């Protein structure tokens, strides 16, 4: 099956950290032209240099997705360089407080993660959609999370942000559909990586008095496939939803979680 993504112009937010790197590299492997948007330009440039060496056209852009002006400037920079925007992949996000109950979560902590995970996606979508509507073509992939599908104790603020993102995705899919624009959400479960190892696992170790390996095994046992997802698993799902192979799919939440959300 050919995804036919060559020469598509893709904006990827959060392209140089966590699963964002794998997603960026996956689109690069499909020969997309990539606009890399994030707050840490040094980190982005490090990834961009590697992609340029492989002949990929990249445009690093400093962008705080929580700032409307930054996202408008991002869309303008992409169009100035490449003439259009075909794909938006919203990866930028955070975890919020880990292990805190709803009543232990401060208003500031709650608002900060809502602003990053939900308002940030709203801002970038709002910036790129007018051009997509005008051209009658676009693919938007929001990276949500399965905690926004089932909820999770100790992760209320994060769950709220990702649950809200599902609503934004579905409503926008209905609105944008008549303009030949697909809007979908990839919902990762636990994804092995730096954030998983430094935030999630230590909390489980502390709560249950277990080793790192035991903590990982404890999580994996909740999944039908008995394994933790890799960042490449998420990247492949994003490629699928950004391609015309999935042209008749819109407004969906696609769990990539080894079967946790289904159980």
**β partners of residue 87:** 10, 139
Q: What pLDDT does residue 261 have?
A: 86
Rounded to an integer, what is the distance from CA 109 to the centroid of its chain? 20
What's the pLDDT band for 262 if we cut at 50, 70, 90? confident
Do 15 and 34 form a contact (C-beta atoms < 8 A)?
yes
**Collapsed DSSP state (helix, strand, coil) of residue 13:** strand
Residue 206 lies in a domain: no
Quick one: pLDDT at residue 196?
Answer: 87
CB of 128 closer than 8 Å to CB of 11: yes
Assign residue 31 the CATH number of its domain.
3.40.50.720
- pTM of this prediction? 0.94
Task: Render pLDDT for 142-155 as a digit per residue (tens, 0 to 9).
Answer: 999 999 998 888 89
Buried b (16+ CB within 10 A) or exposed e, 193-202: bebbeeebbe
pLDDT in tens, 192-222: 988 889 888 998 899 899 999 999 999 999 8
pLDDT in the model for residue 109: 96
Strands 87-90 and 9-13, bridge-based pairing: parallel
Is residue 71 assigned to a domain? yes
What is the arithmetic mean of pLDDT over 169-181?
A: 98
Query: pLDDT (tens digit, 9 = 90+) per residue, 230-247?
Result: 999 999 999 999 999 999
- Mean pLDDT across the stretch 176-183? 98
> How many Cα atoms within 13 Å fall on the side-chain side of residue 104?
10
High-pLDDT (> 70) share of the chain, %:
99
What burial class does residue 54 get, using C-beta atoms within 10 Å of its C-beta: 0-12 exposed, 13-18 middle, 19+ buried?
exposed
Structure-model confidence comparison of residues 33 and 97, the more confident one: 33
Question: Distance (Å, rounded) from C-alpha 41 to C-alpha 36?
Answer: 9
pLDDT above 90 covers a percentage of the chain that reads 88
Burial label for 69, CB within 10 Å (0-12, 13-18, 19+), is exposed
Task: Identify the bridge partners of residue 34 per DSSP, sorted by sequence position.
Answer: 10, 58
Q: With respect to residue 219, please indicate whether it lies within any of the assigned structural domains.
A: no
For residue 188, list its beta bridge partners: 256
> What total number of domains does the chain contain?
1
Which of 30-39, 43-52, 96-105 comes out lowest in average pLDDT? Answer: 96-105
Average pLDDT, the chain: 95
Which residues form the catalytic set?
Answer: 158
Residue 18 belongs to some domain of the structure: yes
Residue 208 included in any domain = no
pLDDT tier for residue 95 given thresholds of 50, 70 and 90 = confident
Asked if the model's pLDDT at residue 263 lies above 70, the reply is no
Q: How many helices (H) and strands (E) in the chain? A: 11, 7
Evaluate whether residue 223 is within a structural domain. no
Domain region containing 18: 9-191+230-256
- C-alpha 182/C-alpha 164 separation (Å) is 18
- Structure confidence by residue, pLDDT tens digits, 56-65: 999 999 999 9
What is the pLDDT, as a whole number, of residue 194?
Answer: 85
Helix, strand, coil: what percent of the chain each, to 5? 50, 15, 30
What is the average pLDDT across 247-259? 96
């Amino acid at each position: 099956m050919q995804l036919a993504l060559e020469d598509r112009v893709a904006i990827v937010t959060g392209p140089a950290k966590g699963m964002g790197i794998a997603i960026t590299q996956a689109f690069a492997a499909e020969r997309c032209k990539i606009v890399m948007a994030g707050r840490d330009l040094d980190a982005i440039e490090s990834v961009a240099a590697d992609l340029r060496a492989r002949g990929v056209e990249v445009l690093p852009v400093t962008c705080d997705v929580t700032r409307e002006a930054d996202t408008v400037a991002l869309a303008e920079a992409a169009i100035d360089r490449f003439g259009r925007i075909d794909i938006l992949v919203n990866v930028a996000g955070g975890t919020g407080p880990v292990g805190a109950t709803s009543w232990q979560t401060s208003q500031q902590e709650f608002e900060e993660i809502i602003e990053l995970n939900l308002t940030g996606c709203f801002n970038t979508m709002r910036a790129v959609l007018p051009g997509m509507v005008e051209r009658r073509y676009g693919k938007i992939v929001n990276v949500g999370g399965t905690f926004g599908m089932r909820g999770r104790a100790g992760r209320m603020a994060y769950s709220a942000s990702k649950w809200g993102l599902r609503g934004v995705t579905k409503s926008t899919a209905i609105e944008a559909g008549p303009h030949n624009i697909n809007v979908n959400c990839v919902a990762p479960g636990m994804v092995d990586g730096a954030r998983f190892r430094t935030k999630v696992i230590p909390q489980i170790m502390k709560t249950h008095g277990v080793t790192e390996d035991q903590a990982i095994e404890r999580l994996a046992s909740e999944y039908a496939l008995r394994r933790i997802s890799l960042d490449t698993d998420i990247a492949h799902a994003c490629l699928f939803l950004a391609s015309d192979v999935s042209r008749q799919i819109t407004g969906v939440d696609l769990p990539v979680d080894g079967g946790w959300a289904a159980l």
